């Protein structure tokens, strides 16, 4: 190992958080030099009224805008290309994403192609984006993906039906503008599944082989916040709980963007690519299965996770405390009423060998506390089936 392999870093965008933060969207774009904004969003966000509100703030700052809204869950490569064409044709100068992980990842993809050209598949992997992207402001409408503070973008290759993971410091947004009010228009199921994505980010970042002193406190605090706020946020949309989940998502995002993820995400990506399933839902289902296998490879850390999940661990051995983690996660999933078997989601058992191969090659497997073989991954999928 050479000296550079020991260097660690911690990158985050400028973060503005609080009830009513959306009112700063025009000002943020203007501050980054905007005259004509490309607003990337989806039809659900338009229906919820957040795009109309954003436009009001653009107009207040005398900004012109163009809207790209042909974005779906698990965003596609051709949507990134369409958005890029629109940005170039209309001569936009700043990109603003308002939405969940899908519009934000699409916006990152557009930003990449605008200045780096070629196909989005050219940038799959680590730090392959060499040219700076246009200024990017992200306004998350879910408390789940953390895409607004991460250097990840996941785009579906529609021809190969695989999810492409792009990891590059060049796509870190300039500003993350977080308004917990925006979570109020989401369904109970969406708050529950995106919240489980947040919990997965926090746990995977905490046990990642790249975790360190600047990522650990955020990861562990995110787990505590999910433990306290996810159920009331999903069941009652209580303002304090939604605010708590927005911070949980933010801290988990800062942790995983810098410490990267693990086997849950590696196993989830093939399912998203082949079956177009909701990312948070798959992570939730795979999390207890993977954690059970991961435990022996990071026992000290799982003992601390147990405590953050509300287990009274003081009189326990490390091993005992760690063993509570999968059970606590299962309890949470049950209380949220989320599915627990891949077969419930229509996944074919015959696809498991192909998915295991894809998961083994996924970037996220590299930082898991233990690198699973294809055969071991098949076993994990079968347990979750
Ligand atoms: Fe995720």
Q: What is the pLDDT of residues 136-188, one digit of tens each?
A: 999 999 888 899 999 999 999 999 988 899 999 999 999 999 999 999 888 99
C-alpha to C-alpha distance for 317 and 131, rounded to whole angstroms: 50
Residues 300, 218: one domain? yes
Is the alpha carbon torsion for 67, 71, 76, 78 positive or negative? Answer: negative
**How far, in Å, from the CA of 259 to the mean position of ligand 1?**
13
Predicted local distance difference test score (pLDDT) of residue 5: 64
Distance (Å) from CA 353 to ligand 1 centroid? 23
How does the average pLDDT of the chain come out, rounded? 95
What is the 263 CA–ligand 1 centroid distance (Å)? Answer: 11
Note whether 272 and 163 are same-domain residues.
no
Q: Is residue 81 situated within a structural domain? A: yes
Residue 3 lies in a domain: no
**pTM check: above 0.95:** no
List the strands of the sheet with 64-68, edge to edge: 14-17, 175-178, 136-140, 94-99, 36-40, 64-68
Total structural domains within the chain: 2
Q: Give the residue among 183, 154, 259, 181 at the shortest CA–CA distance from 214.
A: 259
34-78 tens-digit pLDDT? 999 999 999 999 999 999 999 999 999 999 999 999 998 889 999
Name the strand (E) or helix (H) holding 152: strand 152-157
> Residue 280 C-alpha to ligand 1 middle, in angstroms?
7
Do 101 and 119 fall into the same domain? Answer: yes
Q: How close is the Cα of 154 to the center of ligand 1, in Å?
A: 10
Measured in angstroms, how far is the CA atom of residue 54 from the centroid of ligand 1?
26
Q: How far is the CA of 145 from the centre of ligand 1 (A)?
A: 5
Query: For residue 157, what are the domain limits?
Result: 10-182
CATH number for the domain that contains residue 50? 3.40.50.1970
Q: 314 alpha carbon to ligand 1 midpoint, in Å? A: 31
* 172 plus 250 within the same structural domain: no
Residue 212 lies in a domain: yes
Q: What's the pLDDT score for residue 144?
A: 82
Spacing, Cα 5 to ligand 1 middle (Å): 26
91: CA distance to ligand 1 center in Å? 32
Distances (CA, A) of 242 to 22, 175, 233: 16, 21, 5
């Amino acid at each position: 190992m050479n000296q550079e392999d020991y260097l660690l870093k911690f990158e985050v965008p400028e973060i503005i958080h609080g009830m009513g933060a959306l009112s700063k969207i025009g000002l943020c774009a203007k501050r980054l030099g905007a005259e004509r904004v490309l607003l990337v969003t989806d039809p659900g966000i338009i229906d919820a009224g957040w795009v109309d509100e954003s436009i009001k703030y653009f107009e207040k700052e005398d900004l012109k805008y163009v809207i790209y809204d042909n974005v779906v869950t698990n965003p596609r490569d051709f949507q990134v290309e369409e958005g890029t064409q629109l940005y170039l044709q209309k001569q936009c100068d700043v990109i603003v994403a308002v939405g969940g992980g899908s519009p934000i990842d699409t916006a990152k993809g557009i930003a990449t192609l605008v200045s780096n050209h070629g196909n989005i598949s050219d940038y799959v992997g680590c730090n392959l984006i060499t040219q700076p992207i246009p200024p990017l402001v992200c306004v998350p409408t879910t408390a789940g993906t953390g895409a607004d503070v991460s250097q990840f973008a996941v785009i579906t290759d529609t021809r190969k039906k695989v999810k492409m993971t792009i990891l590059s410091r060049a796509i870190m947004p300039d500003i993350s503008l977080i308004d917990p009010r925006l979570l109020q228009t989401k369904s109970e199921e969406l708050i529950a599944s995106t919240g489980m994505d947040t919990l997965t980010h926090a746990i995977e970042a905490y046990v990642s082989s790249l975790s360190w002193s600047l990522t650990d406190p955020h990861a562990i605090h995110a787990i505590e916040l999910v433990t306290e706020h996810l159920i009331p946020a999903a069941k009652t949309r209580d303002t304090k709980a939604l605010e708590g989940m927005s911070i949980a998502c933010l801290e988990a995002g800062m942790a995983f963007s810098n410490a990267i993820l693990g086997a849950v995400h590696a196993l989830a990506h093939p399912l998203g690519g082949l079956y177009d399933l909701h990312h948070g839902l798959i992570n939730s289902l795979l999390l207890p299965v993977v954690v059970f296998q991961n435990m022996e490879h990071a026992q000290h850390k799982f003992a601390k996770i147990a405590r953050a999940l509300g287990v009274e661990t003081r009189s326990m051995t490390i091993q005992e405390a760690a063993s509570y983690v999968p059970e606590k996660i299962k309890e949470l999933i049950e209380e949220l009423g989320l599915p627990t078997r891949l077969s419930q989601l229509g996944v074919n058992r015959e696809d498991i060998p192909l998915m295991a191969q894809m998961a083994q090659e996924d970037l996220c497997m590299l930082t898991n506390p233990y690198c699973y073989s294809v055969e071991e991954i098949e076993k994990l999928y079968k347990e979750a089936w």
